[in-house]
């Protein structure tokens, strides 16, 4: 059996939603101290729904595949649903990862949670420039 599933290879070779979002509503950046890999997630949120998501991952193939799959799993979903997203769900959607690569999928879970946390923190600060557009009509 191949070390990596076809889905992992597909998302590694053709990652979905790569890039950044200008004026993102939430940004989460996490890293793994052991391997040094870094993952950054950008969320565009409208009415508590993730309307767009992009990622930048400076890391291994499994981290890239995990980020790509995670973005596909959360796009169009409500925040309360994506807060439940676990690395296990990402791994399952990829048809598995080798045990020693599971930590790569944890980065995806953590980056998304961090981006949602950032979104909620920004909402508490109405003066934040990026958030001003949400209330321009006032």
- Binding residues vs ligand FES (CB under 6 A): 32, 35, 37, 59-60, 62-63, 101, 104, 107
Q: Is 35 an active-site residue? A: yes
- Alpha carbon distance 79, 46 (integer Å): 10
Whole-number minimum distance, CB 117 to ligand FES, in Å? 20
Q: Which is nearer to ligand FES, 36 or 125 (CB)?
A: 36
Question: In angstroms, rounded to a whole number, what is the distance separating the alpha carbons of residues 17 and 33?
Answer: 25
DSSP state of 55: E
Residue among 8, 104, 108, 111 flagged as catalytic:
104
Neighbours of 89 (CB within 10 A): 16
The sign of the dihedral angle between the CA atoms of 103, 15, 91, 9 is negative
**3-class secondary-structure state, position 92:** helix
Q: How far is the CB of 46 from ligand FES (least distance, A)?
A: 30
Catalytic site residue from 35, 83, 128, 132: 35
Nearest residue (CB) to ligand FES, 54 versus 101: 101
Active site residue 60: no
What is the radius of gyration, based on Cα positions, of the chain?
Answer: 15
The smaller minimum CB distance to ligand FES, of residues 17 and 122, is found at 17
Q: What positions carry a catalytic annotation?
A: 35, 104
């Amino acid at each position: 059996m191949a070390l990596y599933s076809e889905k992992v290879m597909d998302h590694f070779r053709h990652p979905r939603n790569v890039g950044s979002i200008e004026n993102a509503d939430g940004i989460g950046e996490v890293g793994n101290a052991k391997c040094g890999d870094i993952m950054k997630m950008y969320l565009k949120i409208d009415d508590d729904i993730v309307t767009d998501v992009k990622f930048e991952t400076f890391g291994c193939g499994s981290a890239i595949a995990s980020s790509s799959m995670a973005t596909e799993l959360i796009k169009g979903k409500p925040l309360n649903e994506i807060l439940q997203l676990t690395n296990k769900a990402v791994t399952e959607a990829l048809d598995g990862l080798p045990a020693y690569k599971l930590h790569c999928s944890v980065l995806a879970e953590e980056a998304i949670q961090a981006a949602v946390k950032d979104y909620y923190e920004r909402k508490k600060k109405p003066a934040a420039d990026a958030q001003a557009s949400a209330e321009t009509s006032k």
